[in-house]
Structure 1
Amino acid sequence: MINIASAQLWVHDQDQALAFYTEKLGMEVRSDVTMAEMGDFRWLTVGPPGEDGVSIVLMAIPGEPVLDDQTAESVRELMSKGFAGAIFLTTDDCRASYEQLKARGVEFTEAPEERPYGIDCGFRDPSGNSFRLTQVRGDL
């Protein structure tokens, strides 16, 4: 069987992303390692408490030789429009989670709304990555 271990999101600032994901979304740090031998490359991952097998890599946009300047700028532009990555989260109570996250300073792009599959809302992280928070209907 093949399992998903992690998903990657581009971030503008790893420290800012770390604060957002841990302090506002309530995730925990899985790894935070800086490798001097790789030009101080930082491997930073977070994940939801209790789901040890899944993590989100908070990846800084690399420069040469990984990405040329034009490609890196294209990634930044897509991020600013919310099109460089998306994470889908589920919750037992979308409206309560919305209020809790809003109180922590998460800025939502859409308030909770009834959909054919349940109750759904959207927000973005400080780097522009899109999130959907969904309370899935019980009969699906």
Structure 2
Amino acid sequence: MTLGISQVTVYVEDQQRAVDFWSGKMGFEVVRDMPYGEHRWIEVEPPAGGARLVIHHADPSWPALVKDLPNYVMFHTDDIVKTHQELVARGVEFTQPPNQQPWGWSAVFRDDDGHLFHLGQR
């Protein structure tokens, strides 16, 4: 049996703001953007390929999003210091710059909705 991850959903308050962040600042490609009820079904893919992010509208009646803890989504790069510098130049906010951990290099960045994500180095 072969299993993999094809999509991870990120719930956002403003889908266009999220598209602008993920495509403009992070360099992801918008691979699907179509009507979905009152909102849109949007998928973005990282430059290196792999699992896509689904940018889904968060309904205001849902419980508040937890914004103080990183999502358990880790992006990877071959050179974390260089990638950090490039993303900062594009306006990405890092709450934790690259640092060496016992298990490897790690950094944490924030999207424009306040979600925190990990960046690691392979």
TM-score when scaled to structure 2? 0.88
Tell me what 1:56 maps to.
Answer: 53
Q: How many residues align?
A: 121
Stretches of structure 1 lacking an aligned partner (at least 5 in a row):
64-68
Stretches of structure 2 lacking an aligned partner (at least 5 in a row):
none
RMSD across aligned positions (CA): 1.7
Change (3 A) 1:122 1:50: closer
TM-score when scaled to structure 1? 0.78
Could you tell me how far apart the structure 2 residues matched to 1:92 and 1:133 are?
11
Tell me what 1:120 maps to.
Answer: 106
Stretch of structure 1 that moved more, 114-123 or 92-101:
114-123
Could you tell me how far apart the structure 2 residues matched to 1:22 and 1:125 are?
12
Aligned AA (2:52):
S
Tell me what 1:46 maps to.
Answer: 44
Tell me what 1:15 maps to.
Answer: 16
Larger proportion of helix: 1
Residue 82 of structure 1: how far off its partner (Å): 4.0
Tell me what 2:64 maps to.
Answer: 75
Could you tell me how far apart the structure 2 residues matched to 1:33 and 1:41 are?
9
Moved runs in structure 1, 4+ residues, more than 2 A? none
1:28-87 C-alpha deviation (Å, 9 max, x unpaired): 00110014xx3x231011011341x52100111125xxxxx2xx2x234x23x346x342
Percent of counterpart pairs with the same letter? 32
Larger proportion of strand: 2
Tell me what 2:30 maps to.
Answer: 29
Higher Cα Rg, which structure: 1
Could you tell me how far apart the structure 2 residues matched to 1:96 and 1:50 are?
15
1:93-135 C-alpha deviation (Å, 9 max, x unpaired): 1111111100000011001111112221111101121111111
